[in-house]
Amino acid sequence: MIFRNRPLVRLGAAALLASGALTVFGAPAHAAGTETDLSLDVVGTKVADGAIGKLAYAKVTNNGENTPSELAVRIDVSKVDFTRFAVFPDADCKPDSDGENPGAFTCYANQEALPGPGETIDLPMVVLKAEETLDKAYSIPVTVTLISKDDTTEDNNTKNATVEFSKESGPDLAVLADDVKNAVTVKNGKIQLAGDLHAGDTAQLIYTVWNQGDVTTAGFKVSVKLPAGVTFTETEDECEYATDKASLVCTYPNLPFIPLTQEPKNDDETPGGAFYHLLSVSKDVKAGALTGGTVEVTPLLPAPGLKAQSTEIKNAPDNMTPVDAPDVDGSDNTDGYAVVVAAEGGAGGGGGGGGGGGEVGNDDGGLPVTGAKAGLIGGIGVAVLVAGGAMFLVARRRRVVLVTPGDEKPTA
């Protein structure tokens, strides 16, 4: 299988624009009230030996006090041999060239995707190899650059990443945590959105964990740290809490995740799931972004000499003691998030403004209030299935919503 006949569309990327030159950006010309410090990070660029590909992420974080008026991300893939490998954004972005090697992609965020103070947006990137087995490990340089006339600090706008197609086998967990921006209420055992989040409200932290490696896990361990001024609302049996209820460690030893590129045999097999915790925001916190929250995951494998009965989600043997497993790519095992508290006076709290009063979770009436483990969604949406060389990708967190260049893009 080669990539000459542009299988990028077949592999899950949106349609690529065929031609046109990239915009030439002029000197920054800040608009009043939009100046801010934007920073860039790139994670998840190492692929396990037995995995055909994975999702990497370019993360743009707003470290300042204002929301930028515009933002673009440029991904230079000129060093990628597209006859054997592919690296491209999983979104509708503008390529430099419509030839065999696109050279670079530029992705423009629309207004709804622009990150507010403390917030992060993520651009998924597909990393893929043509051969199921490589003769040796390969390393490919990729440069990612964020562009915004409103950015005030230029020394954190470029990342020189290395895409590694390794000869290592093992689990490769990734985690994405949503910024917390809505209040929730609990009605009839269901969680419902309740508008903007204010001081004193209840909120919901949601994060997604999945296995992009080539080995099934026995389960996983998650460590969650909350920003100052926020505590966990309830306790769960699988979790140990700090005295101040500002951090926890949960261990799920019998929750196997199959590799993302392995097709599930039935509905009881899954490469990952979405989890949640209910949070209480202190009544005395000031409006704004409460930063410093993190979610970190560690894969678990059966103890040496023991083997789980099945890859399905059900009880494993009582004598199986999972142990921490080395992760093929540790760069995407931790994700930060912010809790964004709105100023008083706007719609929110229990008023149904902002996010409205809709239910959170599945289509049959929201998620039950029984802890993070009960929040597992079987058959995670973030999935890559390989069949006849085709890959499809769905359900991303806070993905960059992209527009056609020319409709909305940074200007000089």
pLDDT of 391 above 70 = no
Question: What is the rounded distance in angstroms from the CA atom of residue 104 to the CA atom of residue 407?
Answer: 20
Contact 390, 1 (CB under 8 A): no
Tokens read off for 132: 């199921």
Q: Do domains 1-22+30-168 and 169-382 have the same CATH topology?
A: yes
**How does residue 276 score in pLDDT terms, banded at 50, 70 and 90?**
confident
**How does residue 111 score in pLDDT terms, banded at 50, 70 and 90?**
confident
pLDDT of 5 above 80 = no
Return the pLDDT at 355. Answer: 38
**How does residue 208 score in pLDDT terms, banded at 50, 70 and 90?**
confident
Return the pLDDT at 328. Answer: 94
Contact 272, 382 (CB under 8 A): yes
**How does residue 399 score in pLDDT terms, banded at 50, 70 and 90?**
very low
Q: Which CATH number fits domain 169-382: 3.90.1150.10, 3.30.9.10, 2.60.40.10, 2.60.40.1220?
A: 2.60.40.10
Domain ranges of the chain: 1-22+30-168, 169-382
- Please compute the mean of the pLDDT values over residues 312-324 and round it to a whole number: 69
Return the pLDDT at 315. Answer: 67
Return the pLDDT at 237. Answer: 82
Residue 10 pairs with which residues in a beta bridge? none
pLDDT of 75 above 50 = yes
- Please compute the mean of the pLDDT values over residues 165-171 and round it to a whole number: 94
Query: To the nearest whole number, what is the mean pLDDT of the chain?
Result: 76
pLDDT of 154 above 60 = yes
The pLDDT tens digits for 8-50 are: 222 222 222 222 222 222 333 445 688 999 999 999 999 999 9
Return the pLDDT at 20. Answer: 22
Share above pLDDT 70 across residues of the chain, in percent, rounded to a whole number? 73
CATH architecture label of 1-22+30-168: Sandwich (2.60)
Which of 297, 264, 299, 293 is closest to 386 using CA atoms?
264
**How does residue 146 score in pLDDT terms, banded at 50, 70 and 90?**
very high
pLDDT of 258 above 70 = yes
In the block, tokens 């005295």 appear at 243
Return the pLDDT at 325. Answer: 75
Share above pLDDT 90 across residues of the chain, in percent, rounded to a whole number? 44
In the block, tokens 């190492």 appear at 46
Q: Which of 58-72, 198-212, 313-327 has the lowest mean pLDDT?
A: 313-327
- Please compute the mean of the pLDDT values over residues 139-165 and round it to a whole number: 94
Return the pLDDT at 300. Answer: 92
Question: What is the rounded distance in angstroms from the CA atom of residue 374 to the CA atom of residue 368?
Answer: 7
Q: Which of 77-91, 133-147, 315-329 has the lowest mean pLDDT?
A: 315-329
Q: Which of 83-87, 147-151, 264-268 has the lowest mean pLDDT?
A: 264-268
The pLDDT tens digits for 335-355 are: 999 999 998 865 443 333 333
